[in-house]
A and B are shown apart, each in its own frame.
Chain A
Amino acid sequence: DAGVIQSPRHEVTEMGQEVTLRCKPISGHNSLFWYRQTMMRGLELLIYFNNNVPIDDSGMPEDRFSAKMPNASFSTLKIQPSEPRDSAVYFCASSLWSWREQETQYFGPGTRLLVL
């Protein structure tokens, strides 16, 4: 298995532009997580999907952020409009989910976003 795939690996954009990050989870995994990592705030959970349905989006910073999971093999995280404070590494992770059991999360390589 190729593991969790994320694209792009690096993104440099200007303030105000739309940014779309993509994730392909491991085949057969039914849970997907989007995280943001910065030096200041550490690893923050943004949103959690289970069986393609957003279960918890309380970590999404504000309305500029949106996430979708149209099918079991694809998810996007969109920032519109982007701001310099959105600069971070964004990780996607997937896992198998069973009720009240914490399964191993497999992280993708991350997208390093720089907003100028």
Chain B
Amino acid sequence: GQQVMQIPQYQHVQEGEDFTTYCNSSTTLSNIQWYKQRPGGHPVFLIQLVKSGEVKKQKRLTFQFGEAKKNSSLHITATQTTDVGTYFCAGLSGGSYIPTFGRGTSLIVHP
């Protein structure tokens, strides 16, 4: 079945440093979503990417969908303590109607 791998599992950064998490699928995806879960909270939708090579930005967050639609990344510029949490990708492959979540990347920002 479809597998979605996320790396790294954890990332410690100093406040102001950049952060990137990567999501890789074993199959071609029809689309991919990104969610953020704050400590003690629940996953909250951030964005959805559909097109090959698509790039979307939300303030300091940049999301990319690979040309082959098998990988995606989330980049945060100049991290802040409010960015702390776990970032999940969720991919939907062709022929499936249930998205597969990656294990998530936990971001720890040191002030």
Do A and B come together as binding partners?
Answer: yes
Q: Identify the A interface with B (CB < 8 A).
A: 33, 42-43, 45, 48, 50, 55-56, 91, 93, 97, 99-102, 104-110
Set B30, B41, B42, B103: member contacting A102, Cβ < 8 A: B30
CA distance A108 to B101 in the complex (A): 16
A91 in contact with B30 (CB, 8 Å): no
CA distance A110 to B72 in the complex (A): 27
Residue of B nearest to A110 (CB): B42
A109 in contact with B48 (CB, 8 Å): no
Residue of B nearest to A43 (CB): B101
Q: Taking A91-B42, A91-B43, A107-B44 as contacts, is the C-beta distance between A102 and B101 under 8 angstroms?
A: no
A106 in contact with B45 (CB, 8 Å): yes
CA distance A45 to B88 in the complex (A): 14
CA distance A107 to B48 in the complex (A): 16
| CB of A28, distance to nearest CB on chain B (Å) | 17
Of A43, A101, A107, the most chain B CB neighbours within 10 A belong to A43
Set A42, A97, A109: member contacting B101, Cβ < 8 A: A42
CA distance A29 to B53 in the complex (A): 30
A102 in contact with B45 (CB, 8 Å): no
Residue B99 interfacial (CB < 8 Å) = yes
CA distance A104 to B48 in the complex (A): 8
Apart from the given pairs A42-B101, A100-B94, A100-B97, 8 other A-B contacts in the complex at a CB distance below 8 Å: A42-B104, A43-B103, A100-B30, A102-B31, A102-B48, A105-B45, A107-B43, A107-B44
Residue B109 interfacial (CB < 8 Å) = no
| Chain B residues numbered 23-44 whose CB sits less than 8 Å from any CB in chain A | 30-31, 33, 35, 41-44
CA distance A45 to B92 in the complex (A): 14
B43 in contact with A97 (CB, 8 Å): no
Pick the 6 closest A-B CB pairs, nearest first.
Answer: A102-B92, A107-B42, A42-B103, A104-B45, A43-B101, A107-B43
CA distance A1 to B35 in the complex (A): 20
Set A43, A50, A99: member contacting B88, Cβ < 8 A: A43
Cβ contacts under 8 Å, A45 to chain B: 98, 101
A48 in contact with B42 (CB, 8 Å): no
Cβ contacts under 8 Å, A108 to chain B: 42
